Each structure stands twice: as C-alpha cells, then as structure tokens.
Amino acid sequence: MHYGQIFICDCANGIGNRVSLFVSGCTNHCPGCFQPETWDFSYGKEYTQETEQFLIEELAKPYYHGITILGGEPFEPSNQEEIVKLLRRVHRELPSRTVWIYTGFTYDRDLLPGGCRYTAVTDEILEYTDILVDGRFEQERRNLMLDFRGSENQRIIDMKKSRAEGCVVLSDLQDHGDRFRGP
C-alpha cells in the first residue's frame, strides 16, 4: 500500500484533533475529486512498519481524539490488508481513540458479504470503525455547507449502532447543515 499524505492535528476530517492517513489507489475516479492524484495506487510513499509505528506514536499523544483514514480509497482490496493491521493496533493499544473512514463505496451495497469491495478483512475493519462516511462524491450534488462530506448523497454512518441494529443508522452529525460547533 502507498499513501499520499499524513496530516497531524487535523480537525477537518472528523470530530476533534485527529491523525489522518490519505491512502493511495482508487478505482471510483469521481469527477471533481479533490485529490485525483491519489487514484494512482503507487502515488506518494510506500506504507511501511515505520509508517505504522509513526501513526501509533503520534496518535498516542493525549490531545488526539482519533484517526481518520481516507484517500484515495481505503476499501480497495489491496489497501484493506494494511488498514486492518493498523486498526488492530489502534484498537489494542489506544482503545479510547475513535476511527473515521471515508469511502466512495456504499456500506450496505458494496462492503457487506457479496459486495464488490467485501474481502476477508472488511468486517473486521468495519468493527473497529466508529464513523463511516460513504458514497461517491457527486459533483452535481456538491454542497460546501455540509459537515464532513462533499456532496449531499454521502452519508455519515454511526457504525457501532448500525452493526448492532443490522441496518444503516445515520450519525447525529448527518443533520448539521453548517460547520459543527460541538464540544
């Protein structure tokens, strides 16, 4: 797996201070994508054990709320193997940290058994995920007033509640039309 960027102290891609990992590789190729360079699976730097260790050490600092994984596309099958290893460590070593993942795929169509991006580790990744922002970016539905998403079709899913209830449960954040001003 490759990654394009790591943002530290990121407050734009989830609630609170976050470490954000922008993975490389995406087959969605959404028109108007804000980072088309990340479509290339070889873009950026190679993700290594040292990269993972850096992420864990940074995330362990007391002022972080969690980690956000976006891209590119985290749920490309070739990215899932490394992402699950990282999330296992976060879950084990930093269980109070939240996990947000952005995907252009749709949870209840593409990421469940039989879906086009379902692999042997997808369920485990989703089990570690607190918030999943799903859906392709649709340029004609772009809305700069939305929190944590670029177009009106995208959903902010509470994954803990969704997995417990067996259906999609939207996060309370879905209803905010302007910038979130939470605690």
pLDDT at 16 over 90: yes
pLDDT at 56 over 60: yes
The C-alpha atoms of residue 39 and residue 17 are separated, in whole angstroms, by 26
Using CA atoms, how far residue 78 sits from 37, 134, 158, in Å, is: 17, 19, 25
The domains found in the chain, sorted by start residue, are: 2-175 (3.20.20.70)
pLDDT for 118-173, tens place per residue? Answer: 999 999 999 999 999 999 998 898 888 888 888 889 999 999 999 999 999 999 88
The C-alpha atoms of residue 151 and residue 31 are separated, in whole angstroms, by 12
The predicted pLDDT at position 146 comes to: 84
pLDDT at 181 over 50: no
Residue 178 pLDDT grade (very low, low, confident, very high; cuts 50, 70, 90): very low
DSSP H helices in the chain:
49-59, 77-93, 107-110, 122-128, 159-165
Burial 56-86 (b: 16+ CB within 10 A, else e): beebeeeebbbbbbbbbbbbbbebbebbbeb
Q: pTM (2 decimals)?
A: 0.92
Mean pLDDT across the chain, nearest whole number?
92
pLDDT for 66-123, tens place per residue? Answer: 999 999 999 999 999 999 999 999 999 999 999 999 999 999 999 999 999 999 999 9
